Chains A and B, each alone.
Chain A
Amino acid sequence: MKKIEVKNLTKVFGSHPKKGADLLKAGKSKDEILRETGMTVGVNRATFDVNEGEFFVIMGLSGSGKSTLIRLINRLIEPTDGVINIDGKDISKMNKEDLLTVRRKKLGMVFQKFALLPHRTIQQNVEFGLEIQGIDPNKRAESAKKAIEAVGLGGYEASYPDQLSGGMQQRVGLARALASDTDILLMDEAFSALDPLIRKDMQDELLTLQEEWKKTIIFITHDLDEALKLGDRIAIMKDGVIVQIGTSEEIMRNPANEYVSNFVEDVDRSKVLVAENVMIKPDVVTTFKDGPRVAVRRMQDKGISSIFVVEKGGKLKGLLTIDDAVEAINKNKWVEDVLINDFHHTSPDTPLTDLIGIAAETKYPIAVVRNEKLVGIIVRVSILSGLVLGKGEYTDPESDEETLSADHSPIEAGGDQA
């Protein structure tokens, strides 16, 4: 379902904005209008939809009009032309009272510089949206409490904003937007003022919060890595124009023009690709029918030194090395008794960047696990090829295994199950 529909949304700053909008319709460019009339085009006929529950990222460099665009959506800046439907109602034509109601009930906003009220405590800041709606104090205290807990700031209710770090202040900003329980969150470079580590945490938490609170999010950023990580779909803006809209995959694969491809070239693939993209299908033994002899046989066939053991239904039990399997045969033990569990596992959507360090130090493959089931394994070579080639192009584990055995010492190759 379409939550927000934006059609031909235009903003011209200057003495005769309507005239500027007409010139844009007549096909004049932003530069021509600036030269001929002295007016600045902020947003040029932007058209896009955002679905309910979608994480929609608008990305562009400074001056691309993205901050203007997000402010047109809640009319902090008055649009010159165009339509903004929110739940089917055009906000651009609303009178003052209806606009206030929509801002209060439907559109939460988070700001780059936090924009907290310095004279109010965290609790009072988070309550602000509810307070101006005239909600009963007990009820709003309760909603605020819930929002504060959700962003992990429980215990700081009585602090003032200047007593908190930047990351914590932005959590307050987020809690303030959550407390009003609006369907839509507008986030204007919400994490741009935070340092990289905090920023990453906040991104992860935002994704979790979105799932829990079922929000539709429009998120502005100038950072393509952030856009690719967060966005279900991404709109790329330049000079007030949306030049491309698509999923990260589509934008990476088919950049609409040179501007987009320049961006995409700089992307760190390790942040875009996730475990799922580079994992390979594992060889396994199953506990309910295979014994240690089958396991040894299978490892010999494949030329590998360890093998994952799963239960019926694919639930991961542990890892069996060839030495332990031989020991089990000699001493007549069950496979379960010699399994080891000190290998690394990860979820299918872990970014590659988080796996590089692990892959470098572990001697066993990394198990990719979803709902306790083994869905794939990652060996060192799969990370390398993912980084070099991108996803989807690494499909033939057999040939890579050969390459690896040829290039690496037998011990290391054995460690990588290849």
Chain B
Amino acid sequence: MNYFYLPLEEWTNNFVDFWLIPTLGGFFDALSVPIALILDWVVYLLLLLPPELFTIILIALAWKFAGRGVAIFTLVGLLYLGSVDLWVDGMQTLSIVIVATLLSILIGIPIGIWSAKSNGVNQVVRPILDFMQTLPSFVYLIPAILLFGLGGVPAVISTFVFATPPCVRLTTLGIKQVPEDVVEAARAFGATSWQMLAKVQFPLAIPTMMAGINQTIMLALSMAVIASMIGAPGLGNIVLAGISRVNVGLGLIGGLGIVVIAIILDRITQGLNPKNS
């Protein structure tokens, strides 16, 4: 099938080397500053808290929103993290997940609402989301390094790219699922489109949006190992070390740590969803 040669590789490299970095390098640097700042701040805060206090807070949240079983699991899970001496790594992973998820929510929900309201926007956003979800995540690790260097910031950015689509999609779905007759009633009573959004569509879309945020958090955690390849600290790094040293035990303790955090976050965020409580 080799009828002609497509120099996509050269084009891309030329584009990145001679246009993207010289032109937008400053922009990406500027972008990375606040992200780095927030990330450092979150890590600092999580490590500042005594592990015992943090555990009590998480158990209380789990008990309140997800019931006694999850509270017990939280205790056991966090005891495990401490006992394999991965507490600091766990908090680093958690920080990246928190910052990436916040970024996803901050950007994903407005875009989700916008594409629910405008068909044109939806037409543009959908293929981009498809692209973000299907493109192997290793592929955008490379430009992430080029643009943001190594460490936590490119990890947050690539996690954001990987984890945002469900947040956008389920926000759009949630808004569109609001019953037509309720929207019509609000219009009949003279609601402006802003009032419609604030008083009718947004509150009724919350359960679906919460499901999207839950998915986003889960995807963010699943990026932990991959993101560690570009220098993200945390549990992923432990697993990566296990792989490179063919140390099964090291891989397992890191992997179990990710599972523990995933289950705790999943159950608590599901419990926050008004639809499930």
Contact = CB atoms under 8 A, between A and B. Distances in A.
Contact of B189 (A113, A118, A119, A128): A128
10 contacts: A76-B184, A108-B189, A111-B184, A111-B185, A118-B204, A119-B204, A132-B192, A133-B190, A176-B189, A186-B188
Interface residues of B, number: 17
B191 interface: yes
Nearest to A180: B189
Contact of A103 (B179, B189, B199): B189
B9 interface: no
A129 interface: yes
Contacts of B187: 76, 103
B188 A132 contact: no
Chain A CB within 10 Å, residue with most, of B185, B189, B203: B189
Chain B interface helix/strand/loop/mixed: helix
Contact of A109 (B189, B192, B195, B200): B189
A103 B181 contact: no
Given A117-B182, A119-B204, A76 B195 contact: no
B177 to A, nearest CB: 12
Contact of B185 (A102, A109, A180): A109
A215 to B, nearest CB: 16
Given A103-B187, A109-B185, A128-B189, 7 more contacts: A76-B188, A100-B190, A104-B190, A115-B184, A117-B204, A132-B199, A180-B189
B186 interface: yes
B80 to A, nearest CB: 39
Interface string A108-143: 110101011111000000001101110000000000
Contacts of A111: 181, 184-185
Given A100-B192, A103-B189, A103-B190, A131 B181 contact: no
Nearest to A74: B188
Nearest to B179: A115
A265 to B, nearest CB: 34
B184 A129 contact: no
Please provide the 5 A-B residue pairs with the shortest distance between their CB atoms, ordered closest to farther: A104-B190, A115-B185, A103-B190, A109-B188, A115-B181
Contacts of B186: 117, 128, 132
B217 to A, nearest CB: 24
A115 B178 CA distance: 11
Nearest to A103: B190
A107 interface: yes
B182 A129 contact: no
Chain A CB within 10 Å, residue with most, of B184, B188, B192: B188
A132 B195 contact: yes
A119 B190 contact: no
Nearest to B192: A100
A79 to B, nearest CB: 16
A176 B186 CA distance: 11
Contacts of A113: 181
A129 B204 contact: no
Nearest to B191: A132
A180 B186 CA distance: 13
Interface string B181-225: 110111111111001000110011000000000000000000000
Contacts of B204: 117-119
A101 interface: yes
A291 to B, nearest CB: 66
B195 to A, nearest CB: 5
A128 to B, nearest CB: 6
Contacts of A108: 189
Contacts of A128: 186, 189, 199
Nearest to A182: B189
A61 B199 CA distance: 35
A77 to B, nearest CB: 10
